[in-house]
Chain A
Amino acid sequence: MNITSAKWEKVYAGDTLLTDKGGIVAMIDGEQCHVPTDPMNRHYAEIQKQVAAGTLTIQDAD
């Protein structure tokens, strides 16, 4: 699994910001993927693993 970038996504209800870490948009194997913060999701687990290893940084949401 080749992850080249990761950025948090904001979650809104109407125009109310609920969280600025509601998910991660990541480039995985050349495709833009929307990854949920579910620890059993293999993409999220791999992102967490690479962040812990210091090889990937999750950018703040726009």
Chain B
Amino acid sequence: MALTKLNTLSLADDAITSAKIADDAITSALIADNAVVTAAIADDAVTSAKTTVTSINPNLIINGDMAIAQRNTTSVGTGPKTCDRWYSTWTGGGITQSQVALTSGGAYDEGHRHAFKMAVTSTSSANSRYAQIRYMPEAKDIRNFGWQYTSGSSYITMSFWVKSSLAGTYFLSFDGPDSGNAQVYSTPFTLSADTWTKITKTIPGGSNIVLNDDTGIGFYIDIRMDLGTDYTASDATINAWADRSTSYSKTTTDFAQSWFNTANATWELTGVKLEVGQSATTFEKPDYTTELQKCQRYWWTIRGDEGQDYSNNYGFLVQWSSARFSGWNPFWTMNFPVEMRVIPTTTILGTWGTNNAGSWTNAGYKTKMSATLGFSGTTITGGAYAHFNSTDDAVTFDAEM
């Protein structure tokens, strides 16, 4: 009887050797799920050349997911007023900046729960108008994190999620002030209206870039929503490093749309990562405490609204007997949670509850690690005190860029 069908029982053990299997005869489609178990793989059968391992690069950006807002969650001011380390910079019209919660969209799906938002409250069509979100890394940090910044074949990659209410082409710019002629690199990106979009931009080094090994500004990193024609030119150099030797102007091409001249226009940003290399790797969510301490290098506060019961004088108190100090002005040293970038500016906010306290003073006796708070004009002979007694009372320390 002729053999018409071959089943596994017809095959002797070891009858089919690997030499009898044609190259590429066994494709992945012919292998059942879970058919290859660990025990069936010989020792050393899988080499590193046959595997793909994706590493995650460190992120130079602090608070890139906008989760930390020590100062406030909304402000009409310019500068770093809401999300730590992030500046709202604009002139003309009016803009509100805020930290907002995310509940949906591409950025949310990637794991981000907060964004930095700018919203137009008063439009501007002036040629001198500008509206930007700015981040400034310290020069030593970007100088020393592995980028061969004077080499055109060494790269950094910046990635971020962004949503604008107005479709159009916008710009990301790097501006390095340490160079003799400041070096500027501007690169465009395009957005659809009201759509979260992940932008990835890879930037080479430039032969004229200088980065000092200090705590000053390494780059002004600007995400530009709008620039008036005082700052743009149709023939401006983009996607290449160029000198900013004579003027801040003309570092991007003209904007076809005007975000700042659009009533109620909005812009949201989150998930910002700056890393060495030519591709964007995963945004690794930072540990909150570690990230807060990174932010506190630039700004921190003791605030009344975090006291357990401000109406009963809890939260923060200094108290003394002037007899003990023989009439000298009383001072107290406050140690900072981390070393600050520079000796900070100290601000005493709110009304406080006081008794014979004189006037706050904070001159001298400050370092990057501690400050001495005190009072002047304390001539009384009895006891005295000053304490938080309302939610707006605070002591702040500012060492921002």
A-side interface residues toward B, CB under 8 Å? 1, 9-12, 14-15, 18-19, 22-23, 25, 28-29, 31-36, 38, 40-44
Contacts and interface: CB of A to CB of B under 8 A. Distances in A.
Nearest to A18: B364
Interface SS of chain B: helix, strand, loop or mixed? loop
Contact of B399 (A9, A28, A33, A41): A41
State the majority secondary structure of interface residues on A: strand
Contacts of A1: 79
Closest 5 CB pairs of A and B: A9-B363, A11-B364, A34-B362, A23-B363, A22-B364
Nearest to B348: A32
A29 B77 contact: yes
B178 to A, nearest CB: 13
A36 B366 contact: yes
Identify the interface centre among A10, A23, A28, A31: most chain B CB within 10 Å of its CB.
A23
A49 to B, nearest CB: 14
16 contacts: A9-B364, A11-B363, A11-B365, A12-B329, A14-B328, A15-B328, A18-B364, A22-B363, A33-B345, A33-B346, A34-B362, A36-B366, A38-B343, A40-B216, A40-B342, A41-B344
A37 to B, nearest CB: 8
A19 B216 contact: no
Contacts of B339: none
Contact of B347 (A11, A14, A34): A34
A36 B398 CA distance: 11
B339 to A, nearest CB: 13
A25 B400 CA distance: 18
